[in-house]
Every structure is written in C-alpha cells, then in structure tokens.
Structure 1
Amino acid sequence: MKFLHLADLHLGKRVNGFDLLEDQRFILEQVLALCDEHDVEAVLLAGDIYDAPVPPASACTLLDWFLTQLAGRRIPVLAIAGNHDSAERLDFAAGLLAAQGVHLAGRFTGAPRQIVLNDRHGPVEFTLLPFVRAATVRHFLPDADLPDYDSAVAAALGACQPAAPRRVLLAHQMVVAGVCPPQLSGSETAPLTVGTVDSIDASRFDGFAYAALGHIHRAQRVGSDTVRYAGAPLCYHLDECGTEKSVTLVDLGRRGVEDIQLLPLIPRRAMRHLTGPLAKLTEHPTDTGDYIWATLTDPTPLPDAMAALRAAYPNAMRLDYQPRGSAAGPADAALAVRGKPFAELFQDFFTQMNGRPLTIEEARAVKQLREEAAKA
C-alpha cells in the first residue's frame, strides 16, 4: 500500500497579517497531482488540520474541497485532531464521512479508533490517536498508574488490541528518541516541552510498521526511519525562510515499510530573507511576489522604508535594521535559541563548558533529573 503522510496543514493561518489560503490551496493541488502520479492508495493527515479551534469559513471550504477531491479519486483519508484543532468540531459528521472513506478522529474517548483497509497483501490497521493530554487519559483509565505523559500515551495505545498484522499509527504529540529531541522550526507553538512529562519516547511505537507524526513543522525521522514527522507543507514563520518543504510517500509491503520518499512541494510564493541597503534591495528586485523579510544595513533608519520595500516587493512581511559592523543584539541571540528544547540547550552549555558532549549515561541522568524536577 502506498500512502501519503501529511501533517500541520494549519488551514486558515495568517503570517504577519497575510492570509495564506491561496498558498495552501496551491499546495493541496500539488498533493492531489502527486496522488495521481504515484497511485496513492491512502492519505494520512496527522493533526493541526486547521490553525485555530474556530477556523474561518474559507478554511472549512478549502478542506471540504480537498476531501471531496480525494473521495472522488476513491482514496481513503485518515485524519486526527491536533492541538490547534477543535476535537469536537472535527468529529462532526464523522460517521457520515466514514461511509465516503474519510475517517476522522477528533476526541479521545478511551481508546484510539482503529480503521482497517486492505491492499493486495491483506489488511492494514490504521490506529488514530488524536492529540491527547495525560489528564484526559487518566479520566478514561482511572485505575491505571500514569505518572507522566509518556506512560499516559502508552496506556492509551495499550487500550486497543491489534486488528491486523501490519499496523500504522497516526499521532500528534511531541516525540523524542531517548534524549534526542526533534529539530524545531520557528512556527511551532506550545506545548513543546522536551525531556519532561510532556514528551513521549519513540520506543512506545515499536509495534507499528510506521508512525505518522504531526506537531513539529520540520520533516524528520525520530530515532528510526519509520517514526517520522511529515512537517508542515508551507513555511509558517519568517524563521523558516528558505526551508524546503515536502510530503512523505510511504510504500508499505507485505512485511513492513519497503520505501520512504520525501516528495518536494513548491510554494506559490517563496519566503525569503534579504539583507543589504534598501536602495540595493529595491534596485533590481526578482521574484517580486515572494514573501520577504528584509534586514536593512543602512547606517540609520530610513523614512517610509517599508513603503519603498513594498513598492518593489508587495508581499514584504517584515523589516528590521542591522547596520554594517554592528554587533548582533539581544534579539538576535534570542532568535538563535528560540525553539531549542531544554535537552539541546543543556547539551550546548555542557559542551561549551567541558569541551566535549554529554555521554549517553550523562544524558540519561540529565533527563531523569529534569523529569523529577517537573514532578516536584
């Protein structure tokens, strides 16, 4: 079975006041073209389908169009709620949509939903675990010993029995590999705690042939090739300028995953960071429709600089100054560490102080101390 793994669509999102709905439709049209090109048999949406619990009507219309296009191709959809979604709204008409091959899991109600699809090798179980908090799991499993987030998710997964030999998980959580956190982009929002009760170890997913993750906006593996974040399909923060985006194509064979490909997605408008004097940046502009973050190196601020920049680049999003020869300010230092989890910050600090990285045993000790401090 070939399936596409997407996540973090964030339909309806605005960046620096700019509505990205046209950009999002442009990307979804590419996804549909990839479905046709690669004979895709299922599409997985691993949470944060919308950017807000109450999305604008235009975002709902866009999702309706996308799901209708997939249903018309007879491609099943398996989707879960993320922390940005309203679980109750996503569950609306879920039973009716399931009859059309669109399987939605918004709320966690004691056990993940399990959907079984069939390919030429037999049944494949898709386990749909929406974004869930430890308190929610404790509510449904009051007798279980669930001291932290990791054990709560393990208990949630343990509440369902395997329905097929080949199993695929959809989850929207912060997942780590031991003490190694995922690489963050600039656009993720809380909760993103690593090394504490808010993270889950990837080893919890060992029983699945593939774990399709959402929540982190940079595409990456977590510990193994078969535990992956798809990443967001578009740049959703100026810190992500120049980042290449993709969708993950997974080929599931008789005995498990046989191939994984990252298929590139080309944005309608790129997000770029330009640096230089205002006159030089606007003298011969290129790709003028792109989203622009400009850092001006003029010695003093210029009057109406943003107006001049937007005359050349109508979609300029941000303008700041860093005169040539000036040292990076506190804002730049903050930008360098923004989004870095505790484990990575501590690793950097330890390396600077001792001239070597943490050993595996030391990293485990740090993680244990961090968890104990969080419980105190």
Structure 2
Amino acid sequence: MRLFHLSDLHIGKRVNEFSMIEDQKYILERILDLAEKEMPDGVILAGDIYDKQIPSAEAVQVFDEFITKLAERKFPVFVISGNHDSAERLAFGGRLLNSRGIYLSPVYDGTVMKIPIADQYGTVWIHLLPFIRPAAVRRVFEDESDLITDVQSAVRAVISHMEIDPNERNILVAHQFVTGASRCESEDIQVGGLDNIDASVFEAFDYTALGHIHSPQNVGKGMVRYCGTPLKYSFSETDQEKTITVVEMEEKGMLKIRLLPLKPFRDMRKLRGTYMELTARSFYRDMNCEDYIQVTLTDEDDVPDGLQKLRVIYPNIMQLLYDNQRTRASSQIDAVQDVEEKTELELFREFYELQNNQPMMKQQEEFAEKLIREIKE
C-alpha cells in the first residue's frame, strides 16, 4: 500500500499581499506528475484545503481541477476539512463524489467516516476526522460533556467512540496540533497552548496523517507525522525543503516513509547586504530574481525609494527591512517602552505595517479601534 500524504494547500492564500494562486497551480501540477510516476494507491489531503472558510471562485476552480485530474487517473482521494476550511462547504457533494473515489469528510456528527482499501496484505482502513473543537464534541456526547474540557479530551472522546479493528491496519487523517511539534510564522496559534494534543491520543492507529503544522516532521513515539505545506508561506520556512510524504505499508507493523522533493515555480529566500552589494550584477547574475524575497539592507542611511529601485531587479520583493545602528537602537528602546507607553492601537498599527509593508487605512484603524474598545469593555 502506497499513499501520498499532503496537507495545508491553503489555496487562495496571499502572502504579504502577493497572491500565491499561480504558484499553487504550478505545484499541484507537479504533484500530479509525481503521482503518475509513483502510482500511489491513494492521496491524503489532511485539511486546510483553502485559506479561507469562504474561498474565492478561483480557489474553488483550482481545487476542483486538481481533484478532477486525480479522479480521471483513478487515484482515490481522502480529504478532511481544516481550521481554515468550512466543513459544510468542503463536504458539499461528498456522497456523489464517493462514486468517483473522492472521499470528503462530512461535518462531524458523532461518527467518523472510514474507507477500506485492500492490498495483498488485507484491508487498510482510512479514518477521516475533520478539524474539531470541544464545543462540537460536547453537543454530540452530552452525557460526557463535563469530561470534555479542552481539545485533547475532545479528540480522545471522539476516538473512543470510533470503530477501530486493532487486527487491521488503520490510518487516521486529522488536523490538530500535537504537543512538541515545531511551528512556523504562517500558522494560526492559540494562546496558552489551548489547542495542544499529546501524541499518545493516536496510539490506536498504525499511521496518523496530520495537517495544520507547516513544517514536515514526525512527533511523538509512534508514526504520527505532519507532511508540511507543499509551498513556503513565510520567511521562517526559507531553509525548509518542501516534500510529499510517501507512506508505504506492508503487513501490520511494517511501515516506511519516503520523501519526494517539490520544486516551486518561485522559491522564497532572504537577501542581506548594502544597497550597492545587492544591486551589483555579480551578486544576482546566477540567481532567480523572480523568487519571493525578503531584503534586509545594512546601509546606515535609508535608501530613498529603496523598495521600488530594488524591484527593478527583484520584482517580487515581499519585505524590505533595515538592520543598522539606528534600527537596533530603536528595537532596544521599543522593547522596553512598548507595553508601558504605547496604546493598543499603536501596537496593532505597527504590527500591521510590519506584516503588510504599508500603513493601515483610516477605515481599518476605525474598525481596529472599535474592536479594541469592545474587548476592553
């Protein structure tokens, strides 16, 4: 049994106001190419198919084309919803698509959809658990609501009610945060670790195919794995190699993991140096200047219109930063004074500008100010 494990496509995502849709179309075509070469028995998509609960028409078309091409090639596809998806929207038409080998996890109602796949060693059961929150589980299991206090107890309750044959091979597809996993800047984080789950929750499964964390990694003692995103979505991921996780199962207890590298249309990289160094032809001659770039200038004086000038050479600069004596001194002062001397709106305004390389519009400031006031009340 050979399966592709993918997650966190985030179709329709924008990074620093740059649309990633063309890059996503490209990488999905590369995944199709690798599927034709490897001929997997199925493709797992472990949540966050879209970047928004109400995806754009273009994002829906991109995903529709991807799963249609997989279905045309007779590759079964196993899809769950993530925290960025609308479970109801993603599940639409699921019962019709089952006949084409496209299995979409329904909205959780107390049962977890499971699909059998047979090979020479018997049956592999693939269990599709969409992203869940404690409130949804408490509604289903009212008699146990007092015991369901956090995400871990919610997932544990869900698994305890699942039909799992320990004599068969079982794969769980889920979208949660397992304690100990390494995060990236592009992920959603709940304050205080409220979304944490211990890997021991999944010990009933031969393999747990996880989504939610963008860095590929194993967690816990058993075969619990995040495959990571197929593309880089933040500059904290520049040193990562994005891959497809290939899961190969033989008889029960025999499982291997392989990685297939994914080369993007545009990479994400960091450049650092003075303005003169970065604009010297010898510096960028052998570089793909179309990549998405974060530039850190080390000039002591700001370069007038530096971003626009640099974009003549590097058109896809996402961020322009300065690192010099002035900015380092400012950072040290701000670190001490921020909390005591700046208002919540000022701090939010600075955060927005850092993330988007542009100031907030008046309408956005008014909305943020109203929201802060309501929270404080």
TM-score of the two chains, using structure 2 as the length reference: 0.83
Counterpart in the other structure of 2:63: 63
Q: What is the CA deviation profile of residues 163-195 of structure 1, one whole-angstrom value per residue up to 9, with x for unaligned ones?
A: 57110000000112xxxx21111100133753x
Percent identical pairs in the alignment equals 44
Establish whether residue 315 from structure 1 lines up as the match of residue 312 from structure 2: no
2:221 matched residue in structure 1: 224
Distance 1:331 1:233, change over 3 A: farther
Superposition RMSD in Å: 2.0
Contact 2:300 2:326 in 1 (8 A): no
Q: How does 1:145-224 map to 2 (within 5 A)?
A: 145-162=147-164, 165-176=168-179, 181-191=180-190, 193-194=192-193, 196=194, 198-224=195-221
The residue number in structure 1 matching 2:291 is: 290
Match of 1:103 in 2: 103
Q: Work out whether 1:302 is the aligned partner of 2:303.
A: yes
For 1:133 and 1:331, the matched residues in 2 are separated by 40
2:273 is aligned with 1:276: yes
Classify 1:333/1:58 alpha carbon distance in 2 versus 1 (closer, same or farther; 3 Å). farther
Number of the residue aligned with 1:2: 2
CA distance in 2, matches of 1:257, 1:32: 27
Q: Which amino acid is the alignment partner of residue 210 of structure 1?
A: Y
The offset of 1:31, in angstroms, is 1.1
Change (3 A) 1:137 1:28: same
Q: Is the 8 A contact 2:203 2:222 kept in 1?
A: no
Residue type matched to 1:310 in 2? R
Contact kept? 1:2, 1:251, Cα under 8 Å: yes
Partner SS, residue 279 of structure 1:
helix
State whether residues 106 and 113 of structure 2, in contact with CA within 8 Å, keep that contact through their aligned partners in structure 1.
no
1:254 counterpart (226, 251, 254): 251
* Conservation of the 8 A alpha-carbon contact between 1:111 and 1:157: no
Task: Report the residue type matching 2:151 in the other structure.
Answer: Y
Name 1:233's counterpart in structure 2: 230
Does residue 40 (structure 1) correspond to residue 40 (structure 2)? The answer is yes
Cα distance, 1:231 vs. partner? Answer: 0.6
Aligned to 1:224, what secondary structure does the other structure show?
coil
- 1 CA distance for matches of 2:255 and 2:126? 17
TM-superposed deviation, 1:95:
0.4
Displacement of 1:250 in angstroms is: 0.4
Letter in 2 for 1:165: E
Distance 1:94 1:332 in 2: 55
**For residues 239 and 330 of structure 1, what CA distance do their matches in structure 2 show?**
20
User: What is the identity, as a one-letter code, of the residue corresponding to 1:251?
Assistant: E
1:56 & 1:246 partners in 2: Cα distance? 26
CA deviation digits over 1:11-45, x for unaligned, max 9? 00011111111111111112112212222110000
Give 1:287's aligned amino acid.
N
The 3-state SS of whatever aligns with 2:124 is strand
User: 1:143, 1:305 → 2: CA distance?
Assistant: 63
Shift of 1:122: 1.8
Counterparts of 1:332-347 in structure 2 under 5 Å?
Answer: none
Corresponding letter in the other structure for 1:29: E
> Conserved in 2, the CA contact under 8 Å of 1:226 and 1:257?
no
**C-alpha separation between the residues in 2 aligned to 1:218 and 1:251?**
21
Counterpart amino acid of residue 148 in structure 1:
D
Structure 1 residues without counterparts, runs of 5 or longer: 335-376
CA deviation map 1:279-332 (0-9, x unaligned): 211222221110110000111111110011100011111101112697476499
Measured in 2, the distance between the counterparts of 1:309 and 1:254 equals 56
Give the corresponding residue for 1:12.
12
Shift of 1:238: 2.3
Task: Tell me which amino acid in the other structure corresponds to 2:17.
Answer: G
Cα distance in 2, alignment partners of residues 317 and 63 from structure 1: 26
Shift in CA distance, 59/69, structure 1 to aligned 2, threshold 3 Å: same
User: What letter is aligned with 1:147?
Assistant: T
Alpha-carbon distance change, 133 to 62 in structure 1, aligned in 2, over 3 angstroms: same
Pick closer, same or farther for the CA change 1:101–1:332 going to 2, 3 Å. farther
Distance apart, 1:269 and its partner CA:
0.6
TM-score by length of 1: 0.83
Alpha carbons of 1:326 and 1:52: their partners in 2 closer, same or farther (altered >3 Å)?
Answer: closer
Give SS of 1:168's match.
Answer: strand
1:75 partner letter: F
SS of equivalent residue, structure 2 residue 289: coil
Q: C-alpha separation between the residues in 2 aligned to 1:259 and 1:58?
A: 37
Instruction: Output the amino acid matched with 1:154.
Output: R
Residue correspondences, number: 328
